[in-house]
Structure 1
Amino acid sequence: WKHGVKDVEMTENPFEPYIESLRQQLEDQDPVFLIGVVVALAVVVITCVFLKYFLTSKTVRSAVLLVGLCDSGKTLLFSRLLSGKYKRTQTSITDSSAPYKAKNDRVSPSLLILFVFFPPKYGNNIEGEYLKSERLAIVFVVDSAIFQKEVRDVAEFLYVLVTDTVISRNVPDLLVACNKQDITMAKSAKLIQQQLEKELNTLRVTRSAALSSQDGSVGDFEFSQLPMKVEFLECSARGSKGEDGDADIESLEKSLAKL
């Protein structure tokens, strides 16, 4: 019996006197005051939750800017990335945007923006609003089938992009999508990269060396000298099986999933 009493005393809650005292003090308070305290605490909690959601969403916000010369296949590529479906297209006259979910469950949705390029501005109509995202990637679409005819125009547009101060400050990933690989005469991504480096090197010389290397050294221009990551890849928005088949854009989708 003595051992039983001792056991009961040891199991008593040591905080019970304090809890009882707190309860008594709360009962003595004005109900209006208590309601005010509860409301204030609720406001603090809701504010914290809202700020956490807002800041989290801001840090993962990203945009993928789809650019390139007219008829390079941007609109069809835009449709394929969003729905996977083939869509008959015509030259776009306005910009378009839509949420894009990369084929990677760990990646939050991005804002895929189809940017309409109007020659001869060479990128001067790129809105700064597009470049304000925390993480920005640019998919530069090239028509591989007629690249040899357009190499100068492609290089000039690309030159404006990589020398733009806002773009350089954001240091985006630049994916050069060598499209229309389903066409027999299409040039390879490696050849397109080599030709563009030659053209950009010429532009660098004629335009006061704006494309300087990171270490300040003088020499032939290479994409590896840029402060942004540049990747050349091959794709076909139309696909090798035509309208009824799937697009050959796996390499592009994989690269977008890594952003």
Structure 2
Amino acid sequence: MGEKADVQMAQNPFEPYVESLRQQLEEQDPVFLIGVVVALAVVIITFVFLKYFLTSKTVRSAVLLVGLCDSGKTLLFSRLLSGKFKRTQTSITDSSAPYKAKNDRGSTWTLIDLPGHDSLRPQYLEKFKSAARAIVFVVDSAIFQKEVRDVAEFLYNLLTDPVISRNTPAVLVACNKQDVTMAKSAKLIQQQLEKELNTLRVTRSAALSSQDGSVGRSLYLGRKGKDFEFSQLPLKVEFLECSARGSKGEEGDADVEKLERSLAKL
């Protein structure tokens, strides 16, 4: 009999411990056991959430350069990467390259220049928006007054996009071409865009309501009952001035320090 027990012990050395644990659990108060199960469940759920959160943060490592045609995106792309002036033409496809931020962490992002033509913008934004850690929205400050409606419509579509709203990338509105005498300031551009977006919000909401009696499928921009301001958004929108060309023309340096500082904070 003793030899048989020894054989069983050798085959399953943990059986006595399992049996002892089972007996102890049976003697415990059911309320206590429920509490232990709930605590374990909370730990597991928290672990899964943190893993998902950290993974999604890691994946979003792209900095998108977007804007209307001829706003200076491609030259800005070149200046940020090499500091050099480069003659450009209207882009019909995306361009990408590693960009090393000027910070102590040595952060490296994938800088992507997206086409600015209105027939190409939607498909390229759809392709890259999920990976965006930041979006640099480039505005031509010199002719902003002529393009304010088009700029506002593009920005409205971007800010009400469900994926962008959920991921909350930083949005940097780069008011480019500040080297031009008639260029509008970043503050003035912000104020005019807020007014234009406020008007656009009313017309878009009215159009959707007339179609199906509901605006539930479209994200509402800002706060209902209040005039629109960028501070109302769930994501951070920063306006800054820059000049990809620079005040000294092709031979001089670009004025992109403010943009570089903002990218260094990502």
Q: Does the aligned pair in 2 maintain the 1:60–1:108 contact within 8 Å?
A: no
What's the CA shift string for 1:200-219, capped at 9, x where partnerless?
Answer: 00010001174343xx4411
AA in 1 matched with 2:136: V
Residue aligning to 1:74: 73
User: How far off its partner does 1:169 sit?
Assistant: 1.1
1:233 aligns with 2:232: no
Among candidates 163, 175, 198, match of residue 172 of structure 2: 175
Aligned ranges 1:1-259 → 2 under 5 Å: 59=58, 62-119=61-118, 123-133=121-131, 136-208=133-205, 210-213=219-222, 216-259=223-266
User: How far off its partner does 1:107 sit?
Assistant: 3.8
Flag the structure with higher helix content: 2
Q: Does the aligned pair in 2 maintain the 1:141–1:178 contact within 8 Å?
A: yes
> Are the structure 2 counterparts of residues 255 and 169 from structure 1 closer, same or farther at C-alpha, using a change threshold of 3 Å?
same
Partners of 1:177 and 1:117 lie apart in 2 by 15
AA in 2 matched with 1:211: Y
Q: Secondary structure at the match of 1:126?
A: helix
Q: Does the aligned pair in 2 maintain the 1:79–1:86 contact within 8 Å?
A: yes
Q: Does the aligned pair in 1 maintain the 2:160–2:221 contact within 8 Å?
A: no
Residue aligning to 1:30: none
User: How far off its partner does 1:128 sit?
Assistant: 3.6
Q: Identity rate of aligned residues, in percent?
A: 77
AA in 2 matched with 1:112: L
> Are the structure 2 counterparts of residues 208 and 81 from structure 1 closer, same or farther at C-alpha, using a change threshold of 3 Å?
same
User: How far off its partner does 1:61 sit?
Assistant: 5.2
AA in 2 matched with 1:185: M
TM-score by length of 1: 0.73
AA in 2 matched with 1:242: G
| Runs ≥4 residues deviating over 2 A | 55-61, 126-129, 209-213
Q: Does the aligned pair in 2 maintain the 1:80–1:247 contact within 8 Å?
A: yes
User: How far off its partner does 1:129 sit?
Assistant: 3.8
Q: Does the aligned pair in 2 maintain the 1:68–1:117 contact within 8 Å?
A: yes
Aligned residues: CA RMSD: 2.0
> Are the structure 2 counterparts of residues 57 and 176 from structure 1 closer, same or farther at C-alpha, using a change threshold of 3 Å?
closer
AA in 2 matched with 1:154: V
Partners of 1:228 and 1:145 lie apart in 2 by 27
AA in 2 matched with 1:254: R
Residue aligning to 2:3: none
State the number of aligned residues: 201
What's the CA shift string for 1:2-52, capped at 9, x where partnerless?
Answer: xxxxxxxxxxxxxxxxxxxxxxxxxxxxxxxxxxxxxxxxxxxxxxxxxxx
User: How far off its partner does 1:56 sit?
Assistant: 8.2
Q: Does the aligned pair in 1 maintain the 2:83–2:253 contact within 8 Å?
A: yes
What's the CA shift string for 1:108-130, capped at 9, x where partnerless?
Answer: 21000000132257x42234441
AA in 2 matched with 1:190: K
Partners of 2:233 and 2:147 lie apart in 1 by 23
Unmatched runs of 5 consecutive residues or more in structure 1? 1-54
User: How far off its partner does 1:131 sit?
Assistant: 2.4
Partners of 1:191 and 1:57 lie apart in 2 by 35
Q: Secondary structure at the match of 1:132?
A: helix
User: How far off its partner does 1:59 sit?
Assistant: 2.3
Partners of 1:107 and 1:162 lie apart in 2 by 29
TM-score by length of 2: 0.71
